[in-house]
Structure 1
C-alpha cells in the first residue's frame, strides 16, 4: 500500500483538474452576472454556460474515477514490484499465506465431511426408529387381534365347555406373549442405557446348561433333533456371572438352534464348553437353515428376523428381541459374542464367561 503522504499527493493531483474547471466556470458565470445583482437563474443562463456546466460535472466524475483506478493499480503494481525486486523478504509472507489458505481449505473439507457423516447418521437413526415402531406395532397387533377374536367368539355364546376352555387357553398364551414382549423391552432398554445392575454369583455352568435343556425338552419331543454335549472342562465348572441373565442367554441361543433346525434326520444341536485360561468358552451350534451374509450383520438388531416369512416364528413364537438382549448381557459381563453361519449349513454362536473361584 502507499504511504499516507503519497496517497494525499496522489489524490490532490488527481482532483486538481476538476477544481480548475470549477474555478473557471465560476468566473465565467460571474462575468455574465449583472453588475451588483444576483447570479442569473438556470433558465436564463445561456446555452454555452449550460454546456460548460455539463462538461464540468462529467470531467469531475471522470477525474475522480481515474484517480481511484490509478490508486488501485499503482498499489497492486507497487506490491508486485517489491515482491519481485526482493523475493527473499516476502517469500515467508507468501508461504504463510499459502499455508493459511491450506489450513482453511482443510477445515472446510473436514466440516463438510463431519456434516455429511452427521446427516447420514441422522438418516440411519430415523430409519431404525421407523423400523422399530413398525415391528413393535406388528408384535403387539398380532396377539391383541388374536385375543379379540377369541373373546368375541366366547361372547357369541359358545356352549361347548371344551371349546371355551381351549379359546381361553389360547387367549392366555397371547397375553403371556405380550407380557414377555414388555418385559424384554424393559430389560433391553435398561441394558442399552447401562442401568441394569448385574447380581454376579459363583455357580456351575454345566448345571445351568442342563437346566436349560430340561426346560426346552418339550420342544424336542416328536422331533429328530439330536442334542450333543461336549463339556471339555473339569467339574463343577464354576463361573462368576449373573445366573438369571445368563439363563436368558443360554435359553435363547439353544431355543433358536432348535427353532431353526431342519425337520429331518441328522439334525442336531450341539452345546460345547471349553476351558480357557481365565474364561470358559461356550459354543452353541446347529446344522439348520443357516443365515445369509446379508442377514448375518443384523442378527443382533432389535426385532430383526432372519425368517422374514415368520414360518418358524409362528410355530414356536418369540418377540424378536432375544439376540439383542443376549448381545447386551454378554457385553455387560465384559465379553463379546460372535456368530458364524452359512446359508443351508447351520449357525454357530460363541461367547465367553469368566471363571469363578
Structure 2
C-alpha cells in the first residue's frame, strides 16, 4: 500500500471518527435540551394558569378564568384544562358538562400535599396537577391534560429537524475534513515522492540530478542531504574516472613494450626458441591482448562519460558494413557450427554515423551472441527502415542462453554481468563494459538500444541509427 493511501486512510478515518463523535454528542445534547425545553414550557404554562386562577379566586371573577382556560385549550397538544377546589369540585373546565362534578383521585390528594407539579399518565394522556395558593393556603387545584401522542410528535419533529441540521453540518465537516486530509497528505507525500524519484535517478547513475523540495521542514532537510550525497558521489565518481584514466594510460606503454618483446621472441630476434617456449609465449601474448582490450574498454568508457569520445559522423551505406562484419565472424561461427544470417531490407536508406564506432558496436554485440550461443545455434542480424522512428533499426538476435528478466534493466550498466549459467561458457571472461560502451556510442550518434530476452531461448538487441541528412 502506498504511503499516500496510508496517510489518506488514517487521517480520513480520524476525521470520520471525530465528526461522527461530535455529531452524536450534539444530537444527544440537543435531544436532552429539547425535552427539557418542552418540560419547562409545560411548567411555565401551569404556573401562568395557577396565577390566573389565583387572581380569579381572589376577585371572584369566573369569566376571567374561563376565558384563560379556552386560551390554554387552544395550545397544540392540550386536551383539557380544569380548576377544582380543595375538595375536588370542578370550578372551571374546558368541558362544560363537567362543571360542578367532583374529581377525587390520588392526583388530587397528592396535589394538596405539595406545592409543585404532580404528573400522572393514563390512556395516552399526560396530566399535570398543581395547587393554587392564596395567602399561603391551598385554595384549589389546576389540571392540564396533554396528548402523549402530540407531545411525542412534537419531540420527534424537533429531533428530525435537529438530525437534518446536524447531518448537514457533519457532511460539510466531513467534506472539508477529507479535503484537508487529502491536501495535507499531498503536502507530505509530494516531497517524499520527489525524494524517492530523485533517489531512483541518482541510483541509475545520474549523479548530477538535484532533488528540489521547497519545504523547510525535515523533508526539505532530507532532500538537501540527498543533494549533498549525490554531489559527493559525483566527486568520488570523477576521482575514480580520473584514477582509471590515469592508470590505464600508464599501463598502455609498458603493455605495448611487453607485446613488442613477445613479438620479437617469436621472430627469433633473441635466438631460436623451441615449441615449449612458443607455447608459453603465446599464453603471454593472449594475456597481454586481453589486458590491452580491457584497458581500451576502460579508456573508451572514460571518454564516453566525459563526452570526449570523438565521433566522425558521415553518410554510410550500411549493407557493405554488415557484410564486412559477417566475414570477420565467419571463422568463429563455423567453429561452433552456428548459422549466421543477415536480413537486410532492399533499398535501405543511408545512415549518418561514424563507421568505426558503429563497427565497434556490431563487433561487440556479435561477439556476445557468438559467445553465449551454443553449438548449432542461430544468430540473425536484421536491418530495416523503421517508419515509426524514422530511423534505420538493426537487430542482433540469437538462440543463446537468454537473460533473466530481473537483469534486463541493468544489463547496460557498467561492470554489470549476468552470472546465471555463464560459468559454463568457455573462453575469456569479459570486462563488463562492452554493453555500456555500445549504449554510449549509439547515443553519441543519436541512436538508441534496447534488449528483449527470454531465459533459455535467446536474446535480441535492437538499436537505431539516424538517417543521412538530405
Aligned to 2:275: 162
Q: Report how many residues are paired.
A: 236
Q: Aligned partners of 2:402 and 2:466: how far apart in 1?
A: 29
Which of 77, 102, 108 in structure 1 is aligned with 2:217? 108
* Counterparts of 1:181 and 1:274, CA distance in 2: 33
Shift of 1:113: 3.6
Shift of the alpha carbon at 1:160?
7.5
Q: Does 1:249 align with 2:361?
A: yes
Taking the aligned partners of 1:217 and 1:252, their CA distance within structure 2 comes to 15
In the alignment, which residue of structure 1 is the partner of 2:311?
Answer: 198
Structure 1 unaligned segments of length 5 or more: list them.
Answer: 1-98
Tell me which residue corresponds to 1:288: 400
Paired residue secondary structure (1:285): strand
Asked whether 1:224 is paired with 2:337, we answer yes
Compute the TM-score of the two structures, normalised by the length of structure 1: 0.57
- Alignment of 1:182 with 2:295, yes or no, is yes
Question: SS state of the match for residue 410, structure 2?
Answer: coil
Distance 1:249 1:112 in 2: 44
Corresponding residue of 1:344? 456
Q: From the superposition, tell whether residues 184 and 228 of structure 1 become closer, same or farther in structure 2 (CA, over 3 Å).
A: same
Instruction: Quote how far apart the aligned CAs of 1:185 are.
Output: 1.1
Partner of 1:353: 465
Find the aligned partners of 2:386 and 2:404 in 1 and give their Cα distance.
30
Q: Which structure features the higher share of strand residues?
A: 2
Q: Distance in 2 between matches of 1:299 and 1:112?
A: 34
CA distance in 2, matches of 1:354, 1:114: 39
Give the Cα separation in 2 of the matches to 1:127 and 1:296: 27
Match of 1:209 in 2: 322
Going from structure 1 to structure 2, the CA distance change for 1:353 and 1:310 (only over 3 Å counts) comes to same
Assess if the C-alpha contact under 8 Å between 1:233 and 1:275 holds in 2. Answer: no
**Partner residue of 1:333?**
445
Matched, 1:275 2:385: yes
Name the structure where helix makes up a greater proportion of residues: 1
- The residue that corresponds to 2:30 in the other structure is none
Gaps of 5+ in 2: 1-183, 189-212, 266-271
Change (3 A) 1:294 1:127: farther
Shift of 1:105: 10
Structure 2 length-normalised TM? 0.44
SS for the counterpart of 2:297 is helix
C-alpha deviation, 1:115, in angstroms: 4.2
Shift of 1:222: 2.7
d(CA) in 1 for partners of 2:314, 2:424: 35
Superposition misfits of 4+ residues, deviation over 2 angstroms: 104-107, 115-129, 307-314, 316-320
Which protein, 1 or 2, shows the higher relative CO under an 8 Å CA cutoff with sep ≥ 6? 1
Question: CA contact under 8 A between 1:259 and 1:316: conserved in structure 2?
Answer: no
1:105, 1:191 → 2: CA distance? 34
- Aligned-residue Cα RMSD (Å) equals 3.8
- State the SS of the aligned residue for 1:198: coil
Deviations 1:297-355 (A, max 9, x none): 22112222113675366515533211110010111112221111121121111111112
Give secondary structure in 1 for the equivalent of 2:419: coil
Structure of greater Rg:
2
Q: Which residue of 2 aligns with 1:87?
A: none
